[in-house]
Chains A and B, each alone.
Chain A
Amino acid sequence: MKLLAIRLDNVRRFTDPVEITGIGTGLNVLSAPNESGKSTIVDALHALFFKGYRSWDKEVASLAPHSGGDPQVAVEIEINDNRFKVEKRWSKTRKGEAKVFRGGHLIKQADDAETWLAEVLKAPKEGGPAGLLWVRQGLTSLDEGESAHSARRDLLSSVTGEVEAMTGGRRMDATRDRCRRELDRYLTSSGKARVGGPLKSTEDEVSALDLRRDGLAAKAASLWAELDRRRNLRRELASLEDGEQDSGRMTRLAEAEAAHDEASRHAEALERAIEAERSKSLEMERAQERLATIEAALAEERSAGAALELAKADAAIKDERHRQAEGVFIEARRSFDKAFSSAETASEILRRALRAQTCAATAERRAELTLRLAQAEGLRTELEKAVADAKVGLTDKVLRQLEDRVGEVRVLRKAREIEAVALTMKYAVGRKDGVALNGKPMPNGNRVAIPDGATLEIDGIGHLTVHPGAQSAADTLAVAEKALADALEASGYETMETARAAAHLRLEAEARYRSAEHQLNGAAPHGIEALRESIARLPEPVETEPELPSAREAQEAEVAAKHALAEATSTLEKARCAFQIAQTAAARVAAAAESAAERVSRALSAVSGLQDAEAEKTRLMNELLVHRAALAEAIGQRQAILAVAPDLEAAKAALQRARSVITRAEQDRQRICVDLGKLDTAIEMHAAEAVEEELADVEIRLKAARRRLDEIMFEVSVLQIVDEALESARTAARDRYVEPVLRELTPLIRLLWPEAELRFDAEKVLPTALVRAGTEEDFDILSGGTKEQIALLVRLAFARMLAKAGNPAPVILDDAIVYTDDDRIERIFDALTRQAQDLQIIVFSCRQRAFRDLGGRGLAIIGQESVLDAA
């Protein structure tokens, strides 16, 4: 379908007819400011295509101008090179008109016209297109309601085939529903057995029956066990009560008793035989003993005599040896004593000799030490004197101070003399005196200084007193002299000379002290006391014996003496040992001889106690022979009895067993009777419960329930497989279904967002998300501009599909890109321009400047006059 012209009459502000003509293939732009009626045209177009002529709903009513009257809209369209004019008029009275003209001829009107129009717009059964594609002002949502939805689906169907065929459609839905419904009977949505469903109840039944079966089987088993036990007990009881066995038991008892009696008898006989044998044996033993006694006494007598003889001989020999040993011992003792005393003497001599030697050695030493001591003591006295002297004299230091003062005084005095008034007396010739100074005559021609003034006695004339002037030196000198005098006084010496002498003495004393000390050190290096002690330590001198041998000789003599003593000691000890041994031996032999003598006397007395021992012996020997024969006989008898005697113990045991068998049989019988009574009761009760019948029944039912469960499980598996197959098939089909839309859309989308992709909901045939740089953004959260652009592009894609399917439909954009920025608008324009080569795109926009760049064919709303003109 292609739109060629639009005509509005009595629509909103256009109370007079207006027209838009010259709409062509490609891009058509109606760019006019707001309030110029663009939206009115779009709404009118929409009403024409989608509102029935009888309609007077809100949308239609809004088309009527304020002044009232019926709004009327007409379009010229071209379908497959045929031109049609469609005209609609709506009335408040709902008596509008719809007319379709072809080539000026009315071909359809009223409902027929509506049907025709619907056919044009709606997809016919086999691949028909949706007639128009709208993009409304500020439209950002994609879903425009059911009709648009089905239009999209129809469009897709026309391209990719019947939608139902593709997705399975209603049949698919119904099939899946049925499968799900059936599955739901068995399973919950989480895949568990549904409570109350056949699967769960059969499972429960199986487990309940299983439990019941186990319980019954156990019961039946215990019943069988009871029956078995009763059977065994009955058999046992029967055999116990069997008369034959009973009498057998009694016979066996009688036999055992007889055997026991017999055995007892034999046992007694045996006892007697043993007794006889024992007495015989005793008699024989007694005879043997007597015989042995006699024989022993006789033998003892003989051997004691012999022993006595031997002992006596031995004693004689040992006595002799004893005596000899004693002699040797005494002799040895004597030599020892001698050797001992000579050794003692030699030792004493040696000691004395040594002492003499020592005394000689110390005498020299003592003399030397005593001399040194005398020297040392002298030196010490000297030393002490020197010390005392050294303490008296002036010390060097004081002397030097004194000397200094003396020097000073001398210098001062000299200076005074020099500077003082001096007198020189030049006696007249011939005269040698006459003038005395201070009592002394003035020398001739000598200058005499008088610092302190002087009184000159001039003979005869009087006293001439010279007064000293004020002399500076005089005071200083006086001071110095005073200091000197003080110093001298302090030192304790009157004059300098004495002081000097004292100082000299002191130095000398110190020299002496050093010398004495040195010498003393030589004489007594450790002090005089040490020296004295050394002397005291020396042994006291003793009287020397004139005949003493030298120490060396005395030593040799002592060694020899000691040697001799050692030998003597050894000899003595040997002798002592031999003596002692001999002594002991002699004593022992003597004792032996004594006891031998005793033994002889004992033997003799024993023999003498017997009357004719030999005769008795012979008699006893004969008697013994008799006893031996008797004993042999007794033994033979015992063995004979033993050989034929039955085993009493065995007989006893047999008897006991025979008795216990009978007792036991009786006890068993009683016990079995009791047990049987109990069992009878138990079995009676259990048997009446008919456990086995019930068990058989339960087993059959269990088997049936198991089979049913298997069948149900199979059924569930089948349903699950069907469901799974349907689900995956549908997913695959959907992907295939939306594929053509995406093919058209992708290049458009890429114009705005390179690398971007759209996700499509196959059911609604609408995009659900935009994928950019790997991130999926839900369509709802995209910006208004982006949504708007996508909405536009989606419609362009559909339009392309329509065009390709041979049914081009106009795309009407009513201020569709209000949110879009300039940059994107450029690209949208590119897209539009590109699409417009195959499509009819009609753009209504108030953005005159922006849309100026869009190009395309400009459209204009032409007023009534022009319309009339054109008409």
Chain B
Amino acid sequence: MLAGDVFDTETPSDAVWRHALAAMSSVQSLQWWILPGNHDSLAAEALWGRVRAHAPANVHLLDAPEPIEIAPRVVVLPAPVPRRFPGRDLTEWMPLCATPEDYLRIGLAHGGVLTFGSEDGGAEIIPPDRAKSARLDYLALGDWHGLKQFGDRTFYSGTPERDRFKHGGPGTCLAVTLLAPGAVPEVNTIQTGQFDWQEAPLPLTPAQDAVAALEMLLPAEGKARRDMLLRIRATGWLGLPARMALTRAAELAKPEFWHFEFDDADLATECSLEDLDGIALNGALRLAAEGLHQRSEDAATPPTDRVIAAAALRRLYNYVQGETQ
């Protein structure tokens, strides 16, 4: 069951939807039930017209809010999104839809839940107790790109491949086993994604060994690094040499990752007298360094200029150190 946004746009290129159908078709053991989401709502007539026309036998489009028996005594209550911003709760009809007592009821919907809003920030909201109010054995939700659970039977499975740091880890899907009507479903996470999105904070103090702290955050070398998208957010304070060493270490590690971001915008530099000595004991270089240091710490200087001055001081240090080494 695909809970919406199978396609990111209403008019994907032919290659995209054909590949998708081909991929689904290639796994004949599965039946694919596709629900239109907000990105590929029913308004995408051209898309769904083509999908209908080309869909293999094991791919089914759920384009009407009507119960459908997908297997003996298993009813799916789909809530297809009619247009990008429907402006109302599309699952409202589910509680009113009666099914025989011994049938399993599976809800399939797309959109934000009351408590945390949608990815797109729309106004339409699905009540988090919909599974209970509609007597659903399971409510499969789409829209949120990460894995999220509400109660025993309401889940966002997350996207099969993550696409942002907001939802960490590799992409997943859920294997849900419904044993009997009313029974708590058995939910297992299955990793589908190749790429591992990770964002790691790196709080630092001048006393700390910054390079070691950074290395603690990095996974073992090898495939894990290759398939990882890593963003390090360095915060706190560091001395000039430590800062330089940290930057170098980050630079060194960068090529081993699929993507590596070293965000040190919130990392402040503590510049000690010794650090200035590291640039020059006296003379013009010392003068220049002191001037930059003063500017970076002068409260009267605009913050952007202070940041630039601090960076300039680091650069000067870097130059001089590079020269001496």
Contact = CB atoms under 8 A, between A and B. Distances in A.
B283 A733 contact: yes
A729 B288 CA distance: 5
A734 B43 CA distance: 75
B46 A684 contact: yes
Contact of B284 (A172, A228, A234, A684): A172
Contacts of A175: 285, 316, 319-320, 323
Contacts of A172: 283-285
B319 A688 contact: no
Given A227-B46, A718-B315, A721-B312, A732 B13 contact: no
Chain B interface, DSSP helix/strand/loop, else mixed: helix
Interface string A453-481: 00000000000000000000000000000
Contact of A227 (B45, B280, B282, B291): B45
Contacts of B284: 166-168, 172, 726, 729-730, 732-734
A577 B240 CA distance: 143
Interface centre among B9, B45, B280, B283 (most CB of A within 10 A): B283
Contact of A722 (B10, B12, B47, B315): B315
Contacts of B46: 227, 683-684, 687
Contact of B280 (A168, A688, A690, A717): A168
Contact of A725 (B13, B16, B316, B323): B316
A231 B43 CA distance: 7
A722 B316 contact: yes
A368 to B, nearest CB: 138
B102 to A, nearest CB: 38
Interface string B40-61: 0001111100000000000000
A636 to B, nearest CB: 64
B283 A165 contact: yes
A227 B292 contact: no
Interface in A676-691: 683-684, 686-691
Interface in B23-45: 43-45
Interface residues of A, number: 46
B287 A733 contact: yes
A693 B47 CA distance: 13
Nearest to A164: B283
B281 interface: yes
Contacts of A223: 11
Contacts of B291: 725, 728-729
A717 B311 CA distance: 9
A696 B9 contact: yes
Interface in A147-185: 161-162, 164-169, 171-172, 174-175, 178-179
Contacts of A687: 11, 46-47
Given A171-B323, A227-B46, A729-B291, A721 B309 contact: yes
Given A714-B308, A730-B284, A171 B320 contact: yes
A734 B287 CA distance: 12
Contact of A693 (B12, B287, B309): B12
A633 to B, nearest CB: 69
A230 interface: yes
A11 B52 CA distance: 115
A339 interface: no
A684 B282 CA distance: 74
A692 interface: yes
A718 B312 contact: yes
Contacts of B285: 168, 171-172, 175, 726, 729
B8 interface: yes
A728 B16 CA distance: 60
Contacts of A721: 292, 295, 308-309, 312
Interface in A90-126: none
A171 B45 CA distance: 69
Given A692-B9, A729-B287, A729-B288, A227 B315 contact: no
Given A165-B283, A693-B13, 15 more contacts: A165-B281, A166-B282, A168-B283, A169-B283, A175-B320, A179-B315, A223-B11, A227-B10, A690-B12, A692-B10, A696-B8, A722-B292, A722-B312, A722-B316, A734-B284
Interface of A: 161-162, 164-169, 171-172, 174-175, 178-179, 223-224, 227-228, 230-231, 234, 683-684, 686-693, 696, 714, 717-719, 721-722, 725-726, 728-730, 732-734
18 contacts: A161-B282, A165-B280, A166-B282, A167-B283, A168-B285, A168-B288, A171-B320, A223-B11, A227-B45, A234-B45, A689-B13, A690-B12, A692-B9, A693-B13, A714-B308, A721-B295, A721-B308, A725-B292
